[in-house]
């Protein structure tokens, strides 16, 4: 397919990263196949993760098509860029079409990027994940490639102000060994193994990260490493509250729209 948008977007992003002197650590690029489909499964710590996860496949000369929520495609600025880069919109009310689009991309030899946690992890640990990525890999006969990203949460994450122009931030991207699930496997067990590998990569990225947060910056460090980010249990409660508030707001809008 024609690539009129993706290459200049990458070039622009790399120029911005250079201007901000972001310090990259990118390991495991040899795990990315040079040809053929693959499911790239990343943890999710920031609103910028798809940009950095995309860099994981760049040294192999590949482009990743990320599955992202439909609302991003509805945005008047981000939407045309997302469509131009051939990313895949996910409508949570009609997930079958998104799954079909991802399978089509995989079978045509594309790398499809998935944030299996669905939403940003407030605890900066890997949340529970569903088996969708595993099922896509099996159905398309492509490998699963786990990756971990650490550092972008300092630029823009849930519940924090954007600090997109912050300079000298280290960003770590670790790519794990591919997994090759097949039909007949226990998908839940494979999903648990995938999550364990992602967690191991993320823990290594966090423990080997070159920056130590100052006292007033400990919010970007997970609780188990001495930070003040919510624990996984606290984060789950916050996510539940957010979902309930969103549902109530949606119902209120629908009720208001239906009144005369």
Strand order in 64-69's β-sheet? Answer: 23-27, 170-175, 144-150, 38-42, 111-115, 64-69, 88-90
pTM to 2 decimal places = 0.94
Residue whose entry in the numeric block shows the structure tokens 């009310």: 93
Q: Which CATH number fits domain 6-220: 3.40.190.10, 3.50.50.60, 3.40.50.970, 3.40.1130.10?
A: 3.40.1130.10
pLDDT of residue 258: 57
Give the number of other Cβ atoms within 10 Å of residue 151's Cβ: 25
pLDDT of residue 256: 82
Strands 144-150 and 170-175: antiparallel
Residue whose entry in the numeric block shows the structure tokens 């954007």: 162
**Cβ pair 64, 39 in contact under 8 A:** no
**Cβ pair 199, 125 in contact under 8 A:** yes
SS3 121: coil
Show pLDDT as tens, one digit a residue, over the chain (260 residues).
789 999 999 999 999 999 999 999 999 999 999 999 999 999 999 999 999 999 999 999 999 999 999 999 999 999 999 999 999 999 877 778 999 999 999 999 999 999 999 999 999 999 999 999 999 999 999 999 999 999 999 999 999 999 999 999 999 999 999 999 999 999 999 999 999 999 999 999 999 999 999 999 999 999 999 999 999 999 999 999 999 999 999 899 888 875 54
Cα→Cα distances 29→25, 62, 139, Å: 11, 11, 25
d(CA 233, CA 101): 34
| Sequence ranges of the domains in the chain | 6-220, 230-260
């Amino acid at each position: 397919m024609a690539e009129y948008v993706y290459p200049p977007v990458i070039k622009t992003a790399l120029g911005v990263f250079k201007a901000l002197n972001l310090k990259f650590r990118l390991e495991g690029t040899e795990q990315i196949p040079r040809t053929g489909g693959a499911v790239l499964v990343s943890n999710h710590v920031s609103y910028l993760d798809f940009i950095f996860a995309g860099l994981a496949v760049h040294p192999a000369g590949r482009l990743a098509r990320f599955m992202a929520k439909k609302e991003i495609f509805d945005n008047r600025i981000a939407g045309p860029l997302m469509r131009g880069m051939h990313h895949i919109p996910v409508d949570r009310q009609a997930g079958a079409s998104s799954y079909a689009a991802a399978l089509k991309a995989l079978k045509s030899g594309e790398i499809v990027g998935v944030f299996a946690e669905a939403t940003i992890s407030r605890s900066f640990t890997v949340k529970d994940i569903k088996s969708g990525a595993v099922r896509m890999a099996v159905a398309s006969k492509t490998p699963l490639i786990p990756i971990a990203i650490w550092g972008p949460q300092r630029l823009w994450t849930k519940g924090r102000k954007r600090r997109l122009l912050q300079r000298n931030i280290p960003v770590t991207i670790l790519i794990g060994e591919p997994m090759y699930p097949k039909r007949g496997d226990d998908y839940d067990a494979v999903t648990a193994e995938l999550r364990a590998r992602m967690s191991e990569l993320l823990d290594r990225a966090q423990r080997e990260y070159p920056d130590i947060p100052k006292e007033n910056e400990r919010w970007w460090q997970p609780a188990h490493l001495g930070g003040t980010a919510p624990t996984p249990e606290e984060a789950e409660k916050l996510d539940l509250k957010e979902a309930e508030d969103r549902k109530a707001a949606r119902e209120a809008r629908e009720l208001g729209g239906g009144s005369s």
